[in-house]
Structure 1
């Protein structure tokens, strides 16, 4: 069994604790949290510590905290030459303190504490400074997921920006759609089959092939009718920007 310590108690840390509880090749020996009570519903309180100085020996230390704190926290770890990784999508592996061997263990997914996830289908992106450490990370990753990739820090930046477009921005558009529906007393649930089908298409079509709508068709009458209908200037600007982007994309094909 590969022994793991997790540093952090946020959304990603909680889901990792749940996933490793089912692993047959890796086990959590300790978790560091500033507030011990925040994790007692997931793991024995004896395994939760609030002081770095009492961290036990482990094969892998996973730092799962806010990006801004990674460098400072890695510098406070009271040991040397251990394998220490972070779970950030944007932070370089170089942000980790050099007294330990460095790597990245990045699960690419949107995490909410209240939403249960099947970790076996979540892609885990790995980076390490040497082959032996990469092999350790790969073994750990494959013990909880069937989708594992070697990804460099530079590639991870591109991946994270892409994820913001396909996830965070898309979800914001759902919010706008819901707001428009609510203002006009239309159930948002009516749109859900459309949302699900659009996502389902990506399994068999490229995003370019799946694109539909008035911007794709250059349906200027419908576009103008939509703009005339919208009263919120922010919504109008977003509509115009995305319409222009879709039309410009069509010109470059």
Structure 2
């Protein structure tokens, strides 16, 4: 059994606790949380510590905190030459303190409280400084996921930017669509089959092939009608930018 200590109590840490609890290859030795009660429903209370000095020896320490806290947290760890990784999509491996062996264990998924996920299909991106440590991370990752990838810091940064476009920005567009529906007393549920079909297409078509709509077919009459309809300047500007981006796709600049 590989002994793991998790440091953090946010969404990522909580979902990892749930995933590792189902694994037969790893054991959660401890979890660090400044507020023990936050994790009391997920793991035995005696395994939760709120003082770094109480951390026991483990095979792997996973820091699952906000990006701006990674460096400070890793510097406070009271040991040397242990395998310590973070879960960030953007922070470099070098953000971790050099007194320990460094790595990255990045699950590429959006995590929300009270929304369970199937970890077996979540891509986990790994990085380590040497082959032995990578094998440890690979074993741990494959104990909870079927999609494990070696990704270096520069590739992970690009992947995270791409993820913001396909996830965070797309969800914001859902929000705008919902606002337009609600303002006109139209149920947002009517759009959900369209949203699902658009997402499903990516399984069989690449995004360029799947693109449809007035911008794709250069339907200027519809585009102008939409812009005339929109009174919210923010929505109108987003519509213009996305329309232009679609129309410029494939053109040489």
TM range (shorter): over 0.9
Structure 2's unaligned 5+ residue stretches are none
Give yes or no for contact 1:216–1:250 (8 Å, CA) kept in 2: no
Any idea what the Cα deviations from partners look like across 1:167-221, whole Å, max 9, x if unmatched? 0000000000000000000000000000000000000100000000000000000
User: 1:158-197 alignment to 2 at 5 Å?
Assistant: 158-197=158-197
Give yes or no for contact 1:19–1:144 (8 Å, CA) kept in 2: yes
Any idea what the Cα deviations from partners look like across 1:50-78, whole Å, max 9, x if unmatched? 00001011000000000000001000000
Q: Provide the C-alpha distance between the structure 2 equivalents of 1:176 and 1:12, rounded to a whole number of angstroms.
A: 27
How many pairs does the alignment contain?
Answer: 253
Give yes or no for contact 1:71–1:95 (8 Å, CA) kept in 2: yes
Over the aligned positions, Cα root-mean-square deviation in angstroms equals: 0.9
User: Runs ≥4 in structure 1, deviation > 6 angstroms?
Assistant: none
TM-score by length of structure 2 reads 0.99
TM-score by length of structure 1 reads 0.99
Give the drift of 1:96: 0.3
Give the drift of 1:113: 1.4
Which secondary structure state, in structure 1, belongs to the residue aligned with residue 111 of structure 2? coil
Give the drift of 1:251: 2.8
Alignment match, 2:121: 121
Q: Provide the C-alpha distance between the structure 2 equivalents of 1:135 and 1:252, rounded to a whole number of angstroms.
A: 44
Q: Provide the C-alpha distance between the structure 1 equivalents of 2:95 and 2:168, rounded to a whole number of angstroms.
A: 25
Give the drift of 1:250: 4.2
Give the drift of 1:142: 0.1
Structure 1's unaligned 5+ residue stretches are none
Give yes or no for contact 1:127–1:152 (8 Å, CA) kept in 2: yes
Q: Provide the C-alpha distance between the structure 2 equivalents of 1:250 and 1:170, rounded to a whole number of angstroms.
A: 21
